[in-house]
Structure 1
């Protein structure tokens, strides 16, 4: 009898353990399913944040030839190693007022969006060095005929500012105009709006810069004494846009501040261990992709990650920032034109 009771108790304990193990197993399985679903949703969400424009199809073959070392953008990430070829990327900052956040940050009229900042980023073969060339938005040039998404094309225009290309024909015309100016093929296009830039700075915890002069600009609402500063996103955006509180009030003085911000952000990103903090990494990615427009070669999270991974050896001290050589325009002392032959020599070095 006692033996039967002991066997009964042992069976009960075994049953309870088995039941408990089943519960734990089901709980873990449920957690894994929910975790996978959350990761899947996060990936889908970030992937669908990105807006894109099919620039290659729109421009066709009427553009400079790609560099021989430029890798194919159609190669599978799983089937090939990370690319190491040189790249030229047109990076634009737009003053769009589309959306509440952009409007609050001082974006322009949504019916007349302009490219507030234009930079050609050249990444050397090997991807351990880069050159960032700023094109003054006050640059006068001949804007080529550009195809329009609604059909037809724009007319060729002489002696107009470079940033009118985006205003008139969007990213496609911006790329074609820069390619016409530089005779350099833009392998990719990246555009970030006001809220995307400010959000990136905030998600990184701010950015450290040192100003060499006091800035008092009521138009950008920026007032900084000369010296070191830790800026939040709104302040960093104001610094990138200010022009009336420095130098002669032209776009040339502002470019120096923008280039300083680029280097400071690169240093901030390299010093921030994002991969060790998934929650923070997601916040950064969500903020950036929400304000991002790319060409179709970079319009997915996997393609952007692949580009980022190929640049892991690129440090801020290996990034050179320069301005397109320019001189005062004869027709308008408030505008500039490319200085030759220096400008052509610079562009030739990026091919």
Structure 2
């Protein structure tokens, strides 16, 4: 992927359902001695890491919480400070599975979904803020792994940052827009999201209006539906069959899916079903790209354990306040001072 710097020569991958990640280590431990060793190795090597901290250096917002120093991660108390995570869903993965689901090639990478997840101090509550991909922003200069940097771009679409500079530029642009340090980065691709939903046995989502979108091949009557991975992905991507066809209507559906996934995981006792647990862990890690602070099974397990008190009912979903861009009726810009107030409340 253009602009990626990857851990240990691994090629990049991605998602975003935080609590499921914490189950991966437990899954390996219950599979038996030899099988556990292979499962741990396999799941750990599924994860792809990007050295965002190394690429961006010190010219960034102050972190929400400073990690404890001294004790090893395995013995140190679980972190409990506030945390900010940039979560992207992308259509950039090449390969048969993603192409069948509408994904693009790696050279045409785009961030199809962008959410800033702010976990409160104590880690029992969270706010998920969606940033419309069509928001016009000032895209900062971003370093490239091939050398040099991208130029500053004024009035650029938010999702163009990923296209020109991968995760590093996506994080730098998000920090520039919000004034918030992104402590971590998580990214998932089309097929990974669909496989995760299928591994969980599908999700239940209630829609308040009929959806008829030939582009995403989704046709649903208003009401509650049990969706498999392919249809859940179609729901996350649809926008032409709802409301005014803008990205804002689609964001509402994506936020419903986030809640539905959290509720499904809470209702599924994966720890009593090692095979199901492994399928979920494999689906998550196989489609995951993270920063190098989360690019191992142990680190993801530790994050998941620190979030064990976070339930779907304690997750608030909002959208960054926006208005139609004066320069283009098909684009939006941040509504001020409301947007600035929202970001300030999460620092």
Q: Same fold (TM over 0.5)?
A: yes
Q: Which has the higher contact order (CA 8 A, sep 6+)?
A: 2
1:168-179 aligned within 5 A = 168-179=164-175
1:161 aligns with 2:152: no
CA offsets, 1:235-286, max 9 Å, x none? 0000000010000101000000000000011000111111111111111000
1:291 aligns with 2:282: no
Among candidates 22, 42, 47, match of residue 45 of structure 1: 42
Q: Distance in 1 between matches of 2:88 and 2:278?
A: 23
- Name which one, 1 or 2, has greater alpha-carbon Rg: 1
1:163-312 aligned within 5 A = 163-312=159-308
Distance 1:285 1:103, change over 3 A: same
CA offsets, 1:145-184, max 9 Å, x none? 0000100000000001000000000000000000000010
CA offsets, 1:84-118, max 9 Å, x none? 01100000000024121111111023321100000
Structure with higher helix content: 1
Q: Distance in 1 between matches of 2:115 and 2:92?
A: 17
State the match for 1:114 in structure 2: 110
1:317 aligns with 2:313: yes
Distance 1:332 1:109, change over 3 A: same
Where does the alignment leave 5 or more consecutive residues of structure 2 unmatched?
1-30
Q: Distance in 1 between matches of 2:68 and 2:150?
A: 30
1:66-145 aligned within 5 A = 66-67=63-64, 69-72=65-68, 76-145=72-141
Q: Post-superposition shift, 1:301? A: 0.5
Distance 1:44 1:321, change over 3 A: same
Q: Distance in 2 between matches of 1:51 and 1:331?
A: 39
State the match for 2:144 in structure 1: 148
Work out the number of aligned pairs and report it: 317
State the match for 2:345 in structure 1: 349
Counterpart of 1:78 in 2: which secondary structure? coil
Q: Distance in 2 between matches of 1:206 and 1:334?
A: 34
Among candidates 60, 63, 67, match of residue 63 of structure 1: 60
Q: Is the 8 A contact 1:46 1:289 kept in 2?
A: yes
Distance 1:82 1:201, change over 3 A: same
Farther-moved stretch of structure 1 (102-111 vs 203-212): 102-111
Counterpart of 1:245 in 2: which secondary structure? coil
CA offsets, 1:286-340, max 9 Å, x none? 0110100000000000111111111111110100000001111000011000011
